[in-house]
Structure 1
Amino acid sequence: MLKSHIKKLYKNYKLKTQYKYYLNFSKYIEFNKINQIIPNKIEKIYFIIPGMFKSSGGHTSILRLGTYLSGFGYEIYYISYIDQDLNEMRNNAYSNLNNYRGTILDKSHLNNLKADIIIATLWESVYYIKNLNGYKMYFVQDYEPYFYTYGEKFLLSQKTYELGLHMVTLGEWNKFMIEKYCNPIGKMDFIEFPYEKSEYKQVERDFLQYKNKKEINLAVYVKFDEKRAPFIIQIMLKNLESNLSDDGIKLNIYYFGANKNDKFLNGTNLGKLNTEQLFNLYKKCDFGMVASLTNISLVPYEMIATNLPIIEFKEGTFKYFFNEKSAILTSFDYKELYNKIKYYLENPIKIVTMQKTALNYLNNLSWQKSSQQFKKILETII
């Protein structure tokens, strides 16, 4: 009886929360195409953000881009379209990027801004900025309809690509997906998906000694979000752990990226880690594992930058960003993963070749370069 009552209360609470969300958001939902007005000059740029939260790769990327644009002479602002304490946002921004440049503002400034360029950063923010003054752009970091099951939010997010904003996608995969599944009418460019070279140094590893290993440390990036395959990964690794144990090899699994109190089937949950903690984990481990099922995350870049061999999924987007020979690509079949791990352990020279391929590609990337690409896009507007 008590359990049933609690479930009912939770269901009612969830429904009320959803009603409140849509009733508030419906005031901004319009599907008419925007009328772009070309600015005479570009000085003030406003990023419209969904608050500012710690350990968020998306928020950190916005801060990095804004910081470099500030260095190019633009006046940069970050304005939240959700209610969040201003000091909390500033503290979280400092935690994500302690040298960020630009001014963080709360929601109260949203309707009074005087901008040359307004940049949406999440599908919801597109609706919030449609009727504001300024040339409207959209920094697309992922194909966001895939965040949801097919339904209201899927369609509302998909529609934002068809409203006439000037889109700049992070990586070419997003552009490919928008052109394949939507009818974009505005300009669309892309910048290369970069990483910050200064934060992760290459670690010297003797891959030829992998053949003699009786203990393997594996760093696994997991969030309880379907695009990161959190449940399949755990089941695969539980089976892999058992199979390697039969071969006399101990597998130590270190999950990171989820909340510290989240429960896992096996391994150690390290929770959310800062840059220094991540670097120490990568140094300690022999392999890294990430599921980039939608747009790739920064984590594979960071791992490769430390010369850590990575495991990715064939079903994901890794191959849109790296040569396929830059990682151990597997399906969701744990037997395939087991066979590939065994193959690379028995043929470590293949790991040497794999890492050379990955690092050669990575050496051509940087936030400096990608921000320069964004700057050139801005210069084409006027």
Structure 2
Amino acid sequence: MTGPRLPGAAQRMIMLAGKGVRAVRRGGVSAAADRMVRFAYRQIGAGDPPLLTDDIADSRTLRLPVPTTPPARGRALHVGWVADPPALGSGGHTTMFRMVAALEAAGHRCTLFLYDRWGGDLDQQRTIIRQGWPTVQAEVRHAADGITGVDAAIATGWESAHALARHGAGPMRRLYFVQDYEPFFFAHGPEYALAEDSYRFGFRCIALGDMVADALRTEVGIEPDVTQFGCDTDVYRLAPSGPRTGIVWYARPGAPRRGFWLGSLALAEFQRRHREVPIHVYGDTPRSLPFQAIRHGRLTPDELNSLYNSCIAGLALSFTNISLVAEEMLAAGTIPVINDSPRARADLVNDHARWSSPTPAAIADALSLIVTDSDPDRPAAAAASVRRGWGPAQADLVRVVEEEVYGRQLVS
């Protein structure tokens, strides 16, 4: 017997309280308060917007100085990266840190300037960075204390672009590493408008993939530098440990573009048809799901690769730029089902991926076809089809940053 169903807002507040208890266990009261405010804002619109009022920049009035003379070519550069504080396992931050590592490998020095509108604890944030990305040497500072002492600074999201414009007012070169067209994260409203305006600040934009590049051209009217996705095949690779039996899904209920509601309905329908197939869920898993699942929570990359290698298929939904999860599944021999759209297809051309109309029944159909048409050679073929590493993207970013700071090199 069950009690009355709570309204959606009440359910989300209960979820928020549960997250707060878990945050206290993980990082103490300060970390708990920070996570709870962030979660409340994402889930129910509580709390304040993600930018302080004084940190909002306006492209119409922005006049930012650049150095009058470039540094001598060959002098090591000091490059700042402006970002929101990362959580362990964050895919966007992982991609950013790959680029930080590339600049450091090229002999340049990097500093990470964290923009945290909610005033989180810098020591805790620094600890998370050292734990999650131990090879990165970058110093970690608060952006609000001033983005200074650098030859160039790179924004990594729309909030950080505003922060760079407001807190990096000294002479420097400014760039923008754009991993997704972030206005699409929001309904048409103030956040959409402020995110879109960040691309008009005059920073040199480096678009990750053709979908982002095309959106910047058509929606904003700017021409970015473009680099392509990679896949971390040092981590995601075939490592079979037994028969593949399950479906795997990365749950992100706080990110509408990741289609949590749709994925939940599709997996419930799939399970109705295939009760013998286990469903594995990792990421931010809510307490209530409309299907039976094996919950894994947050996983390290190595743990995630092991999980992928145990599964036949996965669900990789994204309604903006393609999720890195799709190709990482392929690298481990897991066949991803992806919601079909021109945006997603722009940056994943792979015959082993399965594209589905974005409806519960269609996604369940696609998963059913994979699990009922088992091909023993399919995992190896899928793994062989992916891009190998992030080297080309890293080289592109280093080239663009050096060109922007040193100036174009004349070719005789």
Give the TM-score taking structure 1 as reference length: 0.83
Q: Give secondary structure in 1 for the equivalent of 2:47.
A: helix
**Residue type of the partner of 2:401?**
L
Q: Judging changes above 3 Å, is the alpha-carbon distance between structure 1 residues 354 and 317 closer, same or farther for their aligned structure 2 residues? A: farther
**Residue type of the partner of 1:334?**
P
CA displacement at 1:333 relative to structure 2: 3.0
Question: Is it true that 1:50 corresponds to 2:84 in the alignment?
Answer: yes
- Measured in 1, the distance between the counterparts of 2:302 and 2:378 equals 28
Name the counterpart of 1:362.
Answer: 386
Question: Is it true that 1:80 corresponds to 2:103 in the alignment?
Answer: no
Q: Judging changes above 3 Å, is the alpha-carbon distance between structure 1 residues 317 and 96 closer, same or farther for their aligned structure 2 residues? A: farther
Name the counterpart of 1:233.
Answer: 263
Q: Judging changes above 3 Å, is the alpha-carbon distance between structure 1 residues 300 and 95 closer, same or farther for their aligned structure 2 residues? A: farther
Question: Is it true that 1:374 corresponds to 2:397 in the alignment?
Answer: yes
CA displacement at 1:135 relative to structure 2: 0.5
Question: Is it true that 1:263 corresponds to 2:288 in the alignment?
Answer: yes
What are the superposed Cα offsets for residues 21-64 of structure 1, whole Å, 9 maximum, x if unpaired?
553434x4453355563661361100011123222111222212
CA displacement at 1:74 relative to structure 2: 0.7
Q: What value does the CA root-mean-square deviation take over the aligned residues? A: 3.0
**Residue type of the partner of 2:335?**
P
What are the superposed Cα offsets for residues 92-119 of structure 1, whole Å, 9 maximum, x if unpaired?
11232222222112235424x1111111
Name the counterpart of 1:219.
Answer: 248
Q: Give secondary structure in 2 for the equivalent of 1:45.
A: strand
Q: Judging changes above 3 Å, is the alpha-carbon distance between structure 1 residues 183 and 321 closer, same or farther for their aligned structure 2 residues? A: closer
Alignment check: 8 A CA contact 1:282 1:306 kept = yes
Q: Which runs of 5+ in 2 are unaligned?
A: 1-5, 14-40, 408-412
- Measured in 2, the distance between the counterparts of 1:287 and 1:18 equals 39
- Measured in 2, the distance between the counterparts of 1:333 and 1:110 equals 47
- Measured in 2, the distance between the counterparts of 1:227 and 1:309 equals 21
Alignment check: 8 A CA contact 2:210 2:226 kept = yes
- Measured in 2, the distance between the counterparts of 1:19 and 1:327 equals 37
Question: Is it true that 1:243 corresponds to 2:273 in the alignment?
Answer: yes
Name the counterpart of 1:161.
Answer: 199
**Residue type of the partner of 2:120?**
Q
Q: Judging changes above 3 Å, is the alpha-carbon distance between structure 1 residues 90 and 15 closer, same or farther for their aligned structure 2 residues? A: closer
Identity over aligned residues, as a percent?
18
Alignment check: 8 A CA contact 2:282 2:298 kept = yes
2:221 to 171, 180, 183: 183
Q: Give secondary structure in 2 for the equivalent of 1:199.
A: coil
Alignment check: 8 A CA contact 2:313 2:367 kept = no
**Residue type of the partner of 1:235?**
L
Name the counterpart of 2:313.
Answer: 287
- Measured in 2, the distance between the counterparts of 1:29 and 1:262 equals 41
CA displacement at 1:317 relative to structure 2: 3.7
CA displacement at 1:86 relative to structure 2: 2.3
Name the counterpart of 1:71.
Answer: 105
CA displacement at 1:360 relative to structure 2: 4.7
Q: Which runs of 5+ in 1 are unaligned?
A: 211-215
Name the counterpart of 1:115.
Answer: 150
What are the superposed Cα offsets for residues 285-338 of structure 1, whole Å, 9 maximum, x if unpaired?
111111022112222222111111111111374321222523111113333334
Once the two structures are overlaid, the 10-residue window that deviates more, 232-241 or 330-339, is 330-339
**Residue type of the partner of 2:289?**
F
Name the counterpart of 1:328.
Answer: 354
Q: Judging changes above 3 Å, is the alpha-carbon distance between structure 1 residues 33 and 86 closer, same or farther for their aligned structure 2 residues? A: closer
**Residue type of the partner of 1:282?**
Y
Q: Give secondary structure in 1 for the equivalent of 2:193.
A: helix
- Measured in 2, the distance between the counterparts of 1:155 and 1:355 equals 45
CA displacement at 1:278 relative to structure 2: 0.8
**Residue type of the partner of 2:60?**
F
CA displacement at 1:362 relative to structure 2: 1.9
Name the counterpart of 2:27.
Answer: none
**Residue type of the partner of 2:312?**
D
Question: Is it true that 1:93 corresponds to 2:129 in the alignment?
Answer: yes
Name the counterpart of 2:26.
Answer: none
CA displacement at 1:80 relative to structure 2: 1.1
Name the counterpart of 2:278.
Answer: 252
Name the counterpart of 1:124.
Answer: 159
